[in-house]
Chain A
Amino acid sequence: MKNPTLRAAAAVAILGLGVSLAACSGGSSNSASDSVRAEAEYSGPQVDITFWNGWTGGAAPVLVPQLVAEFNETHPDIKVKSNAMEWADITQKMPLAIKAGKGPDVAVAHGDDVATYAAQGLLLKTDDVVEALGYDEDDFPEGLMDAGQFDDSQYGVPWSVTPLGLYINKDVLVKAGLDPETAPTDQKSYLAALEALKAAGVQGEWADGYVFTGTFEFESLLWQFGGELFNEDVTEATFNSEAGVKALTWMTDLIEKGYSPANVAQDGNINALIGGETAFNWNGVWQTTNEALQSVDWTAIPVPQIGTEKAVWSSSTHWMFPANKNQDPDKSAAAATFVKWMNDNSAEWASTGELPAQNTVREDPALLTDYPALAPFLEQLEYARYETVSPGITNAMAEVTTGVNEAMLGKKSPKEALDDAAEKATQLLKQNKAQYGG
Chain B
Amino acid sequence: MANPSIVPPLRGGSGLRGAAARRKTLTAYLFLAPFLVIFGIFVLFPAVYGLWISLHVWNPLLDDHPFVGLQNFFDLFTPGSITYGDFWESMRATGIFVVASVPFLLAVPLAIALLLNRRIKGGTVFRGIFFAPYVLGVAVVSVLWRYLLDPQLGVVNAVLELLGLPSDIPWTVDVPWAWISLVGITVWWTLGLNTVILLAGLKGINPDLYEAASLDGAGAWRKFTSVTLPGLRPVMTFVVTVTLLSSANMFGQSFLITQGGPGTQTRTAIMYIADQGLVQNQMGAATAMSYVLFAILAVVSVINFRLQRDNTK
Interface residues of chain A, those whose CB is within 8 Å of chain B, are 1, 92, 95-96, 99, 120-122, 206, 209-210, 261-266, 268, 271-272, 275, 277, 392, 394-395, 402, 405-406, 409, 411-412, 424, 427-428, 431, 435-436
CB pair A261–B152 under 8 Å, yes or no, is yes
What residue in chain B is nearest A436 (Cβ atoms)? B62
From A206, A409, A427, B263 is in contact (CB under 8 Å) with A409
Q: Does B82 have its Cβ within 8 Å of any Cβ on chain A?
A: yes
User: Within 8 Å CB of A392, what residues of B?
Assistant: 280-281
What residue in chain B is nearest A99 (Cβ atoms)? B61
From A95, A261, A266, A431, B82 is in contact (CB under 8 Å) with A431
> How far is the CB of A397 from the nearest CB of chain B, in Å?
12
- Max chain A Cβ within 10 angstroms of own Cβ: one of B66, B150, B262, B265: B262
Once bound together, how far apart are the Cα atoms of A264 and B170, in whole Å? 8
A-B interface, 10 closest residue pairs, ranked by CB to CB distance from nearest: A263-B170, A406-B263, A409-B262, A120-B61, A263-B173, A95-B61, A263-B151, A395-B280, A427-B82, A265-B150
CB pair B173–A265 under 8 Å, yes or no, is yes
User: Within 8 Å CB of B279, what residues of A?
Assistant: 394-395
Q: Does B99 have its Cβ within 8 Å of any Cβ on chain A?
A: no
User: Within 8 Å CB of B27, what residues of A?
Assistant: none
- Max chain B Cβ within 10 angstroms of own Cβ: one of A263, A268, A392, A411: A263
User: Within 8 Å CB of A262, what residues of B?
Assistant: 168, 170
User: Within 8 Å CB of A405, what residues of B?
Assistant: 261-263
User: Within 8 Å CB of A275, what residues of B?
Assistant: 153
What residue in chain A is nearest B64 (Cβ atoms)? A1
> How far is the CB of B276 from the nearest CB of chain A, in Å?
9
> How far is the CB of B275 from the nearest CB of chain A, in Å?
8
Q: Does B59 have its Cβ within 8 Å of any Cβ on chain A?
A: yes
CB pair A265–B146 under 8 Å, yes or no, is yes
User: Within 8 Å CB of A120, what residues of B?
Assistant: 61-62
From B62, B86, B152, A277 is in contact (CB under 8 Å) with B152
From B60, B150, B261, A409 is in contact (CB under 8 Å) with B261
Q: A402-B264, A411-B263, A431-B82 are in contact. Are A263 and B174 (CB under 8 A)?
A: yes
Q: List 26 A-B contacts (CB under 8 A).
A: A96-B60, A206-B152, A209-B261, A210-B259, A261-B151, A263-B170, A263-B173, A265-B170, A265-B173, A266-B259, A268-B152, A271-B150, A272-B153, A275-B153, A395-B280, A402-B263, A405-B262, A406-B262, A409-B174, A409-B262, A411-B262, A411-B265, A424-B86, A431-B82, A435-B57, A435-B62
CB pair B263–A428 under 8 Å, yes or no, is no
Q: Does B300 have its Cβ within 8 Å of any Cβ on chain A?
A: no
User: Within 8 Å CB of B59, what residues of A?
Assistant: 435
User: Within 8 Å CB of A428, what residues of B?
Assistant: 82
Once bound together, how far apart are the Cα atoms of A277 and B152, in whole Å? 10
Once bound together, how far apart are the Cα atoms of A299 and B260, in whole Å? 33
CB pair A92–B262 under 8 Å, yes or no, is no
CB pair B151–A268 under 8 Å, yes or no, is yes
User: Within 8 Å CB of B85, what residues of A?
Assistant: 424
User: Within 8 Å CB of B170, what residues of A?
Assistant: 262-263, 265, 409
Q: Does B278 have its Cβ within 8 Å of any Cβ on chain A?
A: yes
User: Within 8 Å CB of B263, what residues of A?
Assistant: 402, 405-406, 409, 411-412
CB pair B146–A261 under 8 Å, yes or no, is no
Once bound together, how far apart are the Cα atoms of A428 and B83, in whole Å? 10
CB pair A261–B57 under 8 Å, yes or no, is no
Q: Does B90 have its Cβ within 8 Å of any Cβ on chain A?
A: no
Once bound together, how far apart are the Cα atoms of A99 and B173, in whole Å? 41
Q: Does B253 have its Cβ within 8 Å of any Cβ on chain A?
A: no
CB pair A263–B153 under 8 Å, yes or no, is no
Once bound together, how far apart are the Cα atoms of A120 and B60, in whole Å? 10
User: Within 8 Å CB of B261, what residues of A?
Assistant: 209, 405, 409
CB pair A271–B153 under 8 Å, yes or no, is yes
Once bound together, how far apart are the Cα atoms of A427 and B84, in whole Å? 12
Q: Does B172 have its Cβ within 8 Å of any Cβ on chain A?
A: yes
> How far is the CB of A273 from the nearest CB of chain B, in Å?
11
What residue in chain A is nearest B171 (Cβ atoms)? A265
Once bound together, how far apart are the Cα atoms of A406 and B265, in whole Å? 10
Once bound together, how far apart are the Cα atoms of A395 and B146, in whole Å? 26
- Could you give, for residues 78-116 of chain B, a 1 whenever the CB lies within 8 Å of some chain A CB and a 0 otherwise? 000010011000000000000000000000000000000
> How far is the CB of B148 from the nearest CB of chain A, in Å?
11
User: Within 8 Å CB of A412, what residues of B?
Assistant: 263
> How far is the CB of B7 from the nearest CB of chain A, in Å?
42
User: Within 8 Å CB of B57, what residues of A?
Assistant: 435
- Could you give, for residues 262-290 of chain B, a 1 whenever the CB lies within 8 Å of some chain A CB and a 0 otherwise? 11110000000000001111100000000
CB pair A265–B264 under 8 Å, yes or no, is no
User: Within 8 Å CB of A402, what residues of B?
Assistant: 263-264
CB pair B259–A122 under 8 Å, yes or no, is no
What residue in chain B is nearest A403 (Cβ atoms)? B263
Once bound together, how far apart are the Cα atoms of A93 and B26, in whole Å? 43
Known: A264-B173, A409-B261. 13 other contacts (CB 8 A): A92-B278, A95-B60, A95-B61, A263-B151, A263-B173, A265-B173, A402-B263, A402-B264, A409-B170, A409-B263, A412-B263, A435-B59, A436-B62
- Max chain A Cβ within 10 angstroms of own Cβ: one of B63, B152, B168: B152
Once bound together, how far apart are the Cα atoms of A275 and B147, in whole Å? 14
> How far is the CB of A125 from the nearest CB of chain B, in Å?
18
CB pair B61–A265 under 8 Å, yes or no, is no
What residue in chain A is nearest B80 (Cβ atoms)? A427
CB pair A265–B280 under 8 Å, yes or no, is no
User: Within 8 Å CB of B281, what residues of A?
Assistant: 392
Q: A261-B152, A264-B152 are in contact. Are A122 and B61 (CB under 8 A)?
A: yes
What residue in chain B is nearest A417 (Cβ atoms)? B263
Once bound together, how far apart are the Cα atoms of A176 and B261, in whole Å? 34
User: Within 8 Å CB of A1, what residues of B?
Assistant: 66
User: Within 8 Å CB of A427, what residues of B?
Assistant: 82
User: Within 8 Å CB of A411, what residues of B?
Assistant: 262-263, 265
CB pair A264–B151 under 8 Å, yes or no, is yes
What residue in chain A is nearest B280 (Cβ atoms)? A395
User: Within 8 Å CB of A424, what residues of B?
Assistant: 85-86
